[in-house]
């Protein structure tokens, strides 16, 4: 990678303040920048680094006004964070991308592998699987029978995709993720044992979905567990059988959704949240981290917090009381003591 400020500004439709011919060859955080690096400032918590950063070029928002002299060449853009993401995507495309089938690997003769596909060593592609063109299956990956993987999808090392599951186009599935394992279905028996309920459905993942490492998405008991277009799942997430997650919903790490629950589109779910089974979450709902959802949320755009969760405004008011309970208890005890003294004085009179 080697770009001038002039090239970068043209790509981002930005304006330059400083030397238009300065060259950058790498990307760095603003606090770690050195000559030849490109950085960005979006969060004003990092503004202090702008004035001492050694980065050659720094992206800033159009409306930002520096309070001190800046040594770097600045490129003003509408949204510095989004512009930096666009540059990272451009940079990633300059990195060589593997193509071809490495050995040893196993590809069943009934599997369909399209053009420009990469299949890494020690991968297993089972019967009747389909790998779309330009997709990449990194080493030590298992693709089960009848699995369909779309075009330009990345599946990183160690991922496991069980039989009959469907992965869309332009998806990213990170290492050690399991898609299509059995849902948690067991029928209690009279002898206190549990009989396994066969899980005969599948998982459908639509286009532009990204799934983090060590995430598990269970197959449906019947029908499909569905992850809609544009969903982003963090690492270490559990999605139960027959769950449906709406378009462009994002879920942070260590969250779990129990079976048959439906999450709307454009929702934001914080880390370590738990959602019980068989409920519905409306569109555009925001759930604060470590919240527990035990009932359906029917109001579009609701923001909730707590366990069990309720309106975030009411939660914050309640929390003010809760965190002061020790002091309130001490005051109540003191008042009780004073009241007892008054009673004793009254009786003595």
Give the closest residue to 212 by CA, choosing from 266, 140, 158.
158
The DSSP element (H or E) to which 60 belongs, if any, is strand 57-61
- Name the DSSP letter for residue 297: B
Give the closest residue to 252 by CA, choosing from 240, 270, 230, 266.
270
What is the rounded distance in angstroms from the CA atom of residue 50 to the CA atom of residue 57? Answer: 10
Q: How many CB atoms lie within 10 A of CB 175?
A: 16
- Find all residues with CB under 8 Å of 339, minimum gap 6, and list them: none
Preceding omega of 308 cis (within 30 degrees of 0): yes
- Find all residues with CB under 8 Å of 290, minimum gap 6, and list them: 270, 271, 272, 273, 307
Q: Which entry of 174, 241, 336, 337 is annotated as an active-site residue?
A: 241
> Is 163 one of the catalytic residues?
no
Return the residue matching tokens 């920048």. 33
Burial of 309 (0-12, 13-18, 19+ CB in 10 A): buried
Return the residue matching tokens 């002061």. 324
Sheet of 256-257: strand order equals: 106-107, 124-125, 142-143, 160-161, 178-181, 216-218, 238-239, 256-257, 274-275, 292-293
State how far the alpha carbon of 205 is from the alpha carbons of 78, 153, 167, 225, in Å.
Answer: 33, 11, 5, 8
Kindly list the catalytic residues: 241
């Amino acid at each position: 990678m080697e770009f001038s400020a002039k090239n970068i500004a043209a790509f981002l439709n930005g304006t330059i303040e400083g030397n238009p011919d300065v060259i950058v060859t790498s990307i760095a955080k603003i606090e770690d920048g050195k000559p030849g690096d490109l950085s960005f400032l979006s969060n004003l918590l990092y503004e202090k680094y702008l004035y001492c950063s050694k980065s050659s070029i720094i992206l800033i928002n159009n409306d930002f006004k520096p309070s001190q002299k800046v040594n770097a060449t600045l490129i003003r853009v509408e949204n510095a964070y989004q512009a930096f993401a666009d540059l990272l995507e451009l940079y990633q495309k300059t990195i060589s991308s593997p193509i071809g089938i490495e050995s040893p690997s196993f590809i069943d003769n009934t599997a369909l592998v399209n053009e420009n596909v990469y299949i890494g060593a020690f991968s297993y592609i089972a019967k009747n699987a389909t790998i779309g063109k330009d997709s990449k299956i990194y080493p030590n990956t298992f693709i089960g029978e009848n699995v369909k993987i779309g075009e330009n999808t990345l599946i990183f090392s160690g991922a496991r995709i069980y039989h009959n599951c469907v992965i869309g186009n332009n998806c990213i599935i990170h290492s050690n993720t399991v898609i299509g394992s059995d849902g948690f279905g067991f029928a209690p028996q009279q002898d206190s044992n549990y009989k396994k309920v066969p899980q005969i459905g599948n998982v459908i993942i639509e286009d532009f979905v990204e799934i983090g490492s060590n995430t598990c998405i269970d197959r449906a008991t019947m029908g499909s567990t569905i992850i809609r277009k544009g969903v982003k799942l963090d690492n270490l997430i559990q999605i139960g059988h027959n769950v449906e997650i709406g378009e462009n919903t994002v879920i942070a790490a260590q969250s779990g959704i129990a079976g048959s629950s439906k999450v709307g589109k454009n929702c934001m779910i914080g880390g370590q949240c738990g959602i019980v089974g068989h409920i519905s979450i409306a569109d555009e709902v925001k759930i604060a981290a470590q919240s527990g959802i035990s009932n359906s949320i029917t109001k579009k755009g609701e923001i909730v917090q707590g366990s069990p969760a309720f309106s975030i405004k009411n939660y914050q008011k309640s929390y003010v009381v809760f965190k002061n309970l020790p002091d309130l208890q001490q005051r109540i005890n003191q008042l009780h003591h004073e009241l007892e003294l008054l009673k004793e004085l009254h009786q003595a009179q």
